[in-house]
Amino acid sequence: MPALPYSITISNEERTYLRSLIKTRTIQAQVVDRARMLLWKSEAKTDKAIADGLGVSVNTVRRCIDRYLNNGINLAIFDDERSGRPVEVTDDAKSWIVSIACQKPCDPGYAAELWTLAALHKHIQMHAEEAGYPRLKTVTKPWLQKYLKKMDIKPFKIKYYLERKDPDFENKMHDVLPVYKQVEMQLDDDGNIIIPDSGHLTHTVSYDEKPGIQAIANKYPDHNPTEENGYVRRDYEYVRLGTLSLLAGIDLLTGEVIPLVSQSHKSSDFIRFLKILDAKYPEGDTIRLILDNHSAHTSKETRKFLATLPEDRFVFVFTPAHTSWLNMIESFFSKMTKQMLKGIRVNSKEELSERIYRYFNEINADPIVYHWTYKMDEIDPDEAATI
């Protein structure tokens, strides 16, 4: 005798939930089948009709119905007991992902310094279950990438910063800024130098070294642009000829740049540069240098040379540690690299030296007076005038 048809009663909330599972494309096929079994049974379809419609056995249909009647909707649909909809990743699981992404891969024992998306995804899948988040075993790389982007976490990139190691940075910075203010006060509204009543000027020079400028020669000649190829063609191979150091300063009153090309940048080279300045400016004037704390600037050899000159001939104003940007010459070096040194090829170190000097001649033919603006409004002119 055939079994009598029967139906089950499901709530509107359960009906909506089952329909949402059926529409989910990424869910397992057997979950979709079980959702249909419950929906169709609530419409009083026979077990055989449901089985034929889904291509499964009648026992499979009856087992799903029994599990629903005895244990509820979740155990009827899913093989393991779950709290709520399993398609959702819990906040705790997401926090665990963030904690992993915020470590370096070398922390859990890998060789790499930075994560790749593939490596991070693999690590999460391998360790999700032992961490108590089995759902994360099934997350995809696109989902992980999208979530990290949403959280603005980029463990695949490095963004450099400069640690302020000098605890007295602000005070030292305000030792330098009044110097720039004083230079500004030495110029009138038309940019002309104001000669003091004493006739003796203070010449402020922003100074630094640029070591390791490479002399590189072509192994094969360049080919200049033509109508057919509108760019310089260069062979990949080259020859290293050694390096040179550039010692240079900008006269902040005139904009003139003073160079010294050398084989090194030791104390003896720095003293050579000081001698150039000493010969350049009139006796009785003060030469004030803004410079960093390089050992050559305070060496025994340098102090011995300075002792041979009048006490106020040279005045050194040191920038705080790791603040090269406080020195105007750094902007000039950056400009020089872009305009002249980038891609340069020479046949000898001598040619490199000659072309560096030629560049300075070109710059000094039309000098630009540099003006410092950063935090200058914080400097009281009356206070600067008394320093």
The reported pLDDT for the residue numbered 120 is 94
**Distance separating alpha carbons of residues 189 and 60, to the nearest angstrom:** 95
The reported pLDDT for the residue numbered 83 is 47
Regions of the chain with pLDDT less than 50 = 1, 81-87, 387
Identify the DSSP state of 337. Answer: I
Residues in the chain: 387
Q: pLDDT tens digit string along 140-181?
A: 888 899 999 999 999 999 887 666 666 666 666 777 888 888
Cα separations in angstroms, 260 against 103, 209, 277, 304: 47, 9, 11, 21
**Contact partners, residue 214, CB within 8 Å, separation at least 6:** 240, 242, 243
The reported pLDDT for the residue numbered 167 is 65
What backbone torsions phi and psi does residue 352 show, to the nearest 5 degrees?
-60, -45
Ramachandran quadrant class, 72 (left: phi over 0; alpha: psi -120 to 50; beta: rest): left
The reported pLDDT for the residue numbered 302 is 96
The reported pLDDT for the residue numbered 373 is 63
CB-based contact 31:65 (threshold 8 Å) = no
Question: Residue 261 pairs with which residues in a beta bridge?
Answer: 246
- 17 alpha carbon, distance to own chain's centre: 46
**Distance separating alpha carbons of residues 45 and 43, to the nearest angstrom:** 6
Q: pTM score > 0.85 for this model?
A: no
Query: Which tokens hold the place of 80?
Result: 């393991």
Q: Which stretches does DSSP call E strand in the chain?
A: 202-218, 238-251, 257-262, 286-291, 314-318
For 12, the 3-state DSSP assignment is helix
The reported pLDDT for the residue numbered 162 is 63
CB-based contact 231:225 (threshold 8 Å) = yes
CB-based contact 177:171 (threshold 8 Å) = no
For 146, the 3-state DSSP assignment is helix
